[in-house]
Amino acid sequence: MITAYLAGIPNFYEGEDIEIRYRVFEDGNEILKRSLFKDYKKPALVSLFALITFLKDMEAYKESPIAIMVNDAALMELIRGTSTVKDREVIKWAASAREKLSDFKRATLRHAGNDSQELAKWDEILTF
């Protein structure tokens, strides 16, 4: 089983880079650790962009069971399709992220914020 911890960190100043952090573990052994800086995106798009970027990097593990841990309730709503957002750009990116995620047949997106211990673990793992 592969467990991935993912965070998209927006910069609220226009023109500043965003940061995407993720660490991936397979059976407890770290197989990937990345911190990427990308061009500015609207804060509402950062998590979707981070998810798409992460999934592109994980193409080799498409058939493996993957649990992707995030701490972003808005991202969870966008992926489920239950968000009431009206911004066309966000809707377009959400559809793209759902499509990319559906390519990974055995991947699940989980919200770490529901469990305080899991949230602490998520935070510790992504602090590097």
pLDDT (tens digit per residue) in 59-81: 999 999 999 999 999 999 999 99
Q: How many CB atoms lie within 10 A of CB 97?
A: 22
Query: Which pTM value belongs to this model?
Result: 0.94
Ramachandran class of 28: left when φ > 0, alpha when ψ lies in -120 to 50, beta otherwise: left
**Which domain does 19 fall in, by range?**
2-125
pLDDT at 12: 80
Spatial contact of 67 and 4, defined as CB atoms under 8 Å apart: yes
- Identify the CATH number of the domain in which residue 65 sits: 3.30.420.10
What is the Cβ-side half-sphere exposure of residue 123, based on CA atoms within 13 angstroms?
A: 7
Q: What are phi and psi of 87, to 5 degrees?
A: -65, 120
Please provide the distance, in angstroms rounded to a whole number, between the alpha carbons at the two ends of the chain.
23
Domain count, the chain: 1
